Amino acid sequence: MNKKAGIQLSVNFLVLLVLAIMAFGLGVTIIYNLTGEMDTMATQMDEQTQRQLEQALAGGGTQVALPFNSKDLRRGENSQLAFGIKNTESDVEEFLIKIDCRSAYEHQHENGESFDDPITDHCGTESDDDKVAVLLGGTPTGDGWTREIEHRDRMMENMHIVVGSETKSGRYTFSLEVEKMPDGVPGTAESYGTPRRFYINVY
């Protein structure tokens, strides 16, 4: 009797073990598929942004394009905004890209009414725990970042948005300005294209 009971327990254990392994495998497969779908969606979004930039820069009068001009982010979250520049000059040009924080308003509530409290010193192009920073790849030179673009060519790049973990909630306004440097020297820079503004909403 005990021998039969032992065999029965062994069989039950083996069945449970097989079921557990199958359930684990199924879970791994589901997670893998979901991750693949999310990666595909991210790639499609990147491709969509690239297409919109290409379409915007294809117009004869557009020299600086920013297809999306706002982002909603939480504290400690990072993201990107894409922009593009088209060289309509007669030769290869070096461009200076300047990103500036124009204004910031903290949304507070007092007696049921909201008001804006300026906190402009909490945003810029240097990251910190209590700041919203917007950066480009490479090391900035002087007032911004430089990029060389061939004649009739264009460049597309992501601005990197870094929201510190202690950043105050609010609306942060940045400007994207491009200047051409005929001699490759910042002191000779001339305004190029239409300045663009974009907004980072932190919650």
Please check whether residues 161 and 84 belong to one and the same domain. yes
The answer on pLDDT for 39 being more than 50 is no
User: Do 70 and 45 lie in a common domain?
Assistant: no
Among 58, 84, 103, give the residue marking a domain's end. 58
Are 126 and 149 in the same domain? Answer: yes
End-to-end alpha-carbon separation of the chain, Å? Answer: 67
DSSP state of 150: -
Same domain, 54 and 68: no
The arithmetic mean of pLDDT across residues 167-188, rounded, is 86
Instruction: Mark whether 45 and 129 lie in a shared domain.
Output: no
Tell me: do 52 and 115 sit in the same domain: no
Which residues make Cβ contacts (< 8 Å) with residue 67, sequence separation at least 6? 49, 52, 53, 56, 82
Q: Which of 11, 33, 58 is the last residue of a domain?
A: 58
Question: Domain range for residue 47?
Answer: 1-58
- Name the range with the highest mean pLDDT among 115-129, 133-147, 152-166, 177-191: 152-166
Closest CA to 160 of 95, 99, 102, 119: 99
CATH number, position 156: 2.60.40.10
Chain segment 58-113, per-residue pLDDT in tens: 877 899 999 999 999 999 999 999 999 999 998 999 999 999 999 888 776 545 54
Residues linked to residue 45 through DSSP beta bridges, in sequence order? none
pTM for this predicted structure: 0.72
pLDDT per residue over 46-64, tens digit each?
Answer: 788 888 888 888 877 899 9
Residue 135 phi, psi dihedral angles, 5° rounding: -130, 160
Q: Same domain for 67 and 142?
A: yes
More confident residue, 33 or 17: 17
Claim to verify: residue 116 and residue 49 sit in the same structural domain: no
Tally the domains of the chain.
2
Cβ-proximal residues to 26 (8 Å cutoff; 6+ apart), any chain: none
Beta bridge partners of 98: 177
In the 3-class helix/strand/coil scheme, how is 71-97 assigned residue by residue? EEECCCCEEEEEEEEECCCCCCEEEEE
Q: What percent of the chain has pLDDT over 90?
A: 51
Q: Are 97 and 188 found together in one domain?
A: yes
